Amino acid sequence: MRPAIRFAGRVDVIKRCDDQDRLRWVAGWAVGLILVAAGCAARPTRPPEFRIQPVRPLAVLLDASRAQSPLPEAGDFRPADLVDVAALEPAIRLDIRYASDRNFLGVPVYEQSRALLQRPAAEALARVHRALASRGLGLLVYDAYRPWFVTWIFWEATPPELRRYVADPAQGSRHNRGCAVDVTLVRLATGDVVTMPSGYDEMTERAHAGYRGGPAQPRQMREVLRQAMAAEGFEVYPYEWWHFDYRDWRHYAIANIPFGQIPPPNPADRP
């Protein structure tokens, strides 16, 4: 009987070893899942883009837009001198939303991803970026010069109750004049976009420059951006914390030039 007893003991030992190995494997698997989950949670998540329900079919608007043109303007305007912001100050980051589907319409309306401004506005924006560096911050540009026909698309697509957030093409946008820029802050050490009270292009009260709700930190960073831009002659648009008009906008005419017809950056503009 002893051999049987010894055999049974070995079986019991083997079973216990198998159980222990199984427990170790399950424990290791669980720890792995926890680490993966923690790593995913640590990554900043990109908020969804704000979208509207267009009141007219976008395909129709996009097709009809190139036949549209602004009314003639009377005035003693300066000659246009649109320059690429990225050529003037390469450290400024670009995320030109209207050249992608990450915008309130959900379709690209620009054929090129470029940020163009009249030279005095572009030079002022570069100075803002450099001044922010002492705080470990920099600028990211969402939009700058916008051809007039795109302003027409925005107006025609947007429901009437939301049109305070888009320019009336009868008046033109300061973007059309090359003197408005949509910007936010980034942290230079990490490259992360700074959290603001709302997302870009959001047509809600949270986007207003004076919105007092939500956490304090995003509102404080919104004020940092506003003050830095104001120091170089940019005024915030009351309904959009990211939109800034350069002080000289009245001196430039509305433009309707597609990006493809604007010459590439001048090497002389590069620092």
Instruction: Tell me the torsion sign for CA atoms 245, 247, 250, 253.
Output: negative
Give catalytic status of residue 205 as yes or no: no
Query: Choosing from 89, 156, 202, 240, which is the catalytic residue?
Result: 240
Catalytic residue IDs: 240
